[in-house]
């Protein structure tokens, strides 16, 4: 599905984010930035070992050795990926909805977009942050992701935003949510 918001495009597709040729892809990482399973593992594997070294440097140089807080974002190169850059963000673990999870998830999308703008990137691909290992309900996550992205794109000339869903089922959830948001627009 394709939507147009101002001068910007917002596209939903089913696919593997590691194959996307956007300027930047977003990683649903954990605070250590040292890799893991799911999309994080796939991105580290496809980018090669240099991305792990880059993440370690970010931890040391930008975070004074601390973990990346939930909702925040950092950037590295993409190394062996088709994408030139990777923005690593940490989604919230779903704890039932009482631990500020919706706001933190919105921050992931907002901060990733701000980071992409700051680096003058004009195309970005997101996965469905937090809806795998971190168990955020996908219907709720889709509404938050798309509401945040649509309002960002209304306010900023950016370029192309793509959400790369890993299953037809997730695609259908995001499509239903985007159709509803575009009707309300």
Region 49-68 residues binding ligand AR6, contact defined as CB under 6 A: none
CA-based torsion, 87, 15, 53, 31: positive or negative: positive
Interactions with ligand AR6, residue window 93-122 (CB under 6 A): none
**40 contributes a contact to ligand AR6 by CB under 6 A:** yes
158 is an interface residue for ligand AR6 by CB under 6 A: no
Q: Does 78 bind ligand AR6 (CB under 6 A)?
A: no
Question: Which residues, in sequence order, are bridge partners of residue 9?
Answer: 4, 160
d(CA 67, CA 109) in angstroms, rounded, equals: 19
Rule CB under 6 A: is residue 166 a binding residue for ligand AR6? yes
Considering only residues 118-157, where is the footprint of ligand AR6 by CB under 6 A?
127-134
Binding of ligand AR6 at residue 91 (CB under 6 A)? Answer: yes
Measured at the alpha carbon of residue 170, what is the angle toward residues 166 and 171, in degrees to the nearest 5? 85
Q: From 37-45, 60-68, 140-148, 176-184, give the range in contact with ligand AR6 by CB under 6 A.
A: 37-45
CA pair distance 10, 161, nearest whole angstrom? 5
The Cα–Cα gap between 82 and 153 comes to 24
Binding site for ligand AR6 (CB under 6 A): 16-18, 28-30, 36-40, 42, 91, 127-134, 164, 166, 170
């Amino acid at each position: 599905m394709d939507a147009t918001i101002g001068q910007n495009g917002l596209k939903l597709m089913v696919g593997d984010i590691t194959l996307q040729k956007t300027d930047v892809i977003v990683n649903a990482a954990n605070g250590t930035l040292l890799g893991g399973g799911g999309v994080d593992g796939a991105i580290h594997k496809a980018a090669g070992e240099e991305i792990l070294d880059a993440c370690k440097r970010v931890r040391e140089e930008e975070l004074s050795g601390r973990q990346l807080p939930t909702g925040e974002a950092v950037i590295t190169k993409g190394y062996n990926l088709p994408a030139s850059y990777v923005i690593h963000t940490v989604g919230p673990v779903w704890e039932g909805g009482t631990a500020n999870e919706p706001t933190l998830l919105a921050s992931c999308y907002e901060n990733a977009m701000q980071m992409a703008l700051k680096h003058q990137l004009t195309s970005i691909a997101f996965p469905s942050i937090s809806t795998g290992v971190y168990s955020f309900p996908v219907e709720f996550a889709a509404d938050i992701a798309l509401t945040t992205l649509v309002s960002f794109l209304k306010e900023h000339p950016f370029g192309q935003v793509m959400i790369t869903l890993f299953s037809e089922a997730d695609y259908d959830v995001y499509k239903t949510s985007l159709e509803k948001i575009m009707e309300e627009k």
